[in-house]
Amino acid sequence: DAKTTQPPSMDCAEGRAANLPCNHSTISGNEYVYWYRQIHSQGPQYIIHGLKNNETNEMASLIITEDRKSSTLILPHATLRDTAVYYCIVRDTGNQFYFGTGTSLTVIP
């Protein structure tokens, strides 16, 4: 079974920050959190990942709680092209990635 829990859907106004939560309460100390998104029926695309510290790249920011049991993906200025399904994933020590059902984000004009 998936190791993460996400809300099934969210809306965000265009230009505003989109904050997508993820619960991974059973995560182990050396397991990474990854975020991917999938647009239509294309293969998922990598966004960002982290272990303990918060991370930022050109696409998004990842905030991981101190106890590592949850995280939030932040898209700082959502655009219509950010409408997609977002997956929060834990990569286990065997390098397996379990996806779950993700959050369907709709950016509203």
CB 102 within 8 A of CB 38: yes
The CA-CA-CA angle for residues 57, 61, 67, to 5°, reads: 125
State in angstroms the smallest separation of the CB of 23 from another protein: 15
Give the nearer residue to another protein in terms of CB position, either 40 or 81: 40
State in angstroms the smallest separation of the CB of 36 from another protein: 7
Query: How far, rounded to the nearest angstrom, does the alpha carbon of residue 47 sit from its chain's CA centroid?
Result: 8
Torsion of CA 98, 46, 32, 14, to 10 degrees: -100
Give the nearer residue to another protein in terms of CB position, either 42 or 109: 42
**Contact residues: another protein, CB under 8 A:** 1-2, 32, 34, 36, 41-46, 49, 85, 87, 91, 94-102
State in angstroms the smallest separation of the CB of 35 from another protein: 10
Interatomic CA distance for residues 16 and 69, integer angstroms:
26
State in angstroms the smallest separation of the CB of 60 from another protein: 14
Give the nearer residue to another protein in terms of CB position, either 90 or 107: 90
